[in-house]
Amino acid sequence: MTRYLISFGAHAMDHIPEEDMPAVAEASVAVIEEAVNAGVWVFGAGRRGERATIVGIDGMLTDGPFTETKEVIGGFSVVDVSSREEALEWAAKTAVACRCAQEVRELLPDPPGLEHVPQTRLTHHPQAAR
C-alpha cells in the first residue's frame, strides 16, 4: 500500500456561498466515512487561519510564510491505497464533495526501522460527531 496526499488550496472554496457550506461539510464527512469504512483513511484536516511560523535548524523562529504566497494548502487528506488510480478515485470523490479541485501527491514510505512503531488509524472522524 502507498500513502497519497490529497489537498486543495486555501482559497479553493471561496466561490461557495456561505449557505451551501453545511451541505459541503455533510458531503465531505460522507466521503471521509466511506474512506474509513474502506480502510484507506489515514488522516486529514483543514487549516485554520493564515498564521505560520518557521522553525530553523538552529531553533530560530521566523514569522511566515505570509499569505502573499500563491499556493497554500487549505486542507488535506492522506489515504493509504494500492495504486495511484485508486488515490485519484478518492480525490475525485473529495473534489465533488468539496466542490473544488484536488491535488494528488504520492508520499514517501516510512524510513527503515519504523516497522515496530504501531500505526494508528482513525476509526472516527471528529467532524462527524458535531
Residues 97 and 21 sit within 8 Å (Cβ to Cβ):
no
More confident: 108 or 116: 108
Helix 21-38 vs helix 84-98: crossing angle, to nearest 10: 160
Rounded-to-integer distance, Cα 102 and Cα 92, Å: 8
Tell me which CATH homologous superfamily contains domain 2-110.
Answer: Dimeric alpha+beta barrel (3.30.70.1060)
pLDDT digits 0-9 by tens, 19-72:
999 999 999 999 999 999 999 999 999 988 777 888 999 999 998 766 566 678
Q: Taking the complete model, does pTM exceed 0.75, yes or no?
A: yes
CA distances in angstroms from 17 to 3, 13, 111, listed in the order given: 32, 9, 43
Beta strands across the sheet bearing 73-81: 41-46, 73-81, 2-9, 103-106
